[in-house]
Amino acid sequence: MKILNVNFTFNTIGEKLSDELSNLKELQKRGHTVATVTTDRANYIIEQKRLKNELFLNNDESTPIDIFGIPVYILHSTIPSLGWYCPNASKLANNIVKNFDVIHIRNWYHHLAIVFYKAALKHHIPFVFTAHNSLHHMGDNKNLKIPKKFLEKLYTKKMINQASALQSLGDSENKEFSKFGADPNKIFRIDLGVKPEDFEIIENTDIFSKFGINKENFHYILFLGRIYKKKGIELLFQAFAKHRPIDLNIIIAGPSTDDYKNELIQFANKLKIANSVKFIGPVYGSEKAQLLHHAKIFALTSYGDIHPVALLESLLMGNPVLITKNCDFPEIEEYDAGVVVDATFESVYAGLVKILKSDEKLEEYSKNAKKLANDKFLFENKVIDYENLFQFAINNQKN
């Protein structure tokens, strides 16, 4: 198959490929032709320009650049606040979509998505849509708020119903698709996956000493991920402040804006827990693996998520988890791998008390977490699912 991936962003995770790029590489290995279209506002591409990489400084939008062995078309976005608007997107889309068997549109409410959706229809090329939680309105990106209302009225329902297949990342996304009238027979549930080899601690890092932490005596709850309002970190802080667990701390790891980080620091000060909270910024590779390995529990008290990758990673490392129902992860209760609560202060507090009540139970949660990750979320099992998804889309278009 010839597969064209379309997404406004193109990022790596430290030195590792993202789940999206790893899928493309695996599809290549299995004999498929792949390419991707993105914008020059993606973090990886911005960084390459900052480093004066000539390949990215003199980019011809009509010619793909080889990045990690993947042909990548990079379009210049002139108005990021308007869904990363790219003036040459339509020209490129109409020139290249007919060279592919299937188009995979990732995320919605961005300019590339609607342009390639329309081009796929025009040239009778089947397309697959993966929402990646973009249909959920909680925590909208500021660059999506303007086009979202416009697209909701004009395109979203039509696009979902005209897609040859839909990829869902969780039960709540199935419901979102159903709200727009999607045919349930064309919804494929394919979760994100994790690779055990990515979490081997291949070197001892100074991640703990760098922040003045004695890892043998410093017990902590770990939050790992992008730090913004939707993640509900304030709920965790409030519950922690009320419970005041002895000899336990919170580590917040992940990228954030200075403004929101300062908000959280002020909130921790107000709750008188600032001495128990450490912000350590983004972590990758062995640093991330070490943080997960030593964590007492992993917490994600989010207001809205669908099977977040950080949660999959924590399960793989055997972390008991405290999460909200909004994370759309019923498997946690199915496998007894942690505690699932509502996204309210009272419920998070009760969940924190429950999960910390017994070290013996924590051991049981830990074993179950590893089993869940290995049973259901290994990356190696996902590639065949994608092949089946794309083949269904192609066959569905013919029918």
- What pLDDT is recorded for position 149? 66
- β-strands 297-300, 220-224 pairing: parallel
Single-letter amino acid, residue 29: K
Signed CA dihedral, 378, 382, 383, 384: sign only = positive
The whole-angstrom distance between residue 264's C-alpha and the CA centroid of its chain comes to 22
Cα Rg, the chain, nearest whole Å:
22
Residues forming a β-bridge with 199: none
Single-letter amino acid, residue 278: K
* Angle at 303 (CA atoms; ends 326, 382), nearest 5 degrees: 50
Residue 243, token pair as written in the block: 């419970």
- What pLDDT is recorded for position 199? 86
Domains and CATH numbers, the chain: 2-190+382-398 (3.40.50.2000), 196-376 (3.40.50.2000)
22-59: burial string, b at 16+ Cβ within 10 Å, e else = bbbebbeeeebebbbbbbbbbebbeebeeeeeeebeeb
- β-strands 2-6, 16-17 pairing: unpaired
Q: Are 151 and 122 in contact (CB under 8 A)?
A: no
- Per residue in 158-189, pLDDT (tens digit) is 999 999 999 999 888 898 899 999 999 999 99
Q: Are 323 and 301 in contact (CB under 8 A)?
A: yes
Model confidence at 70: pLDDT above 60: yes
Place of tokens 């379309």: 6
Residues forming a β-bridge with 129: 105, 166
| Residue 344 CB neighbour total at 10 angstroms | 15
Q: What global pTM score does this model have?
A: 0.84
| Cα–Cα dist 388/285, whole Å | 31
- What pLDDT is recorded for position 139? 46
- Per residue in 108-119, pLDDT (tens digit) is 889 999 999 999
- What pLDDT is recorded for position 386? 95
- Per residue in 197-207, pLDDT (tens digit) is 888 877 777 88
Residue 34 has what DSSP assignment?
Answer: E
Q: Report residue 15's pLDDT band, with 50, 70 and 90 as the boundaries.
A: low
Up-side HSE of residue 87: CA atoms within 13 Å toward CB? 2
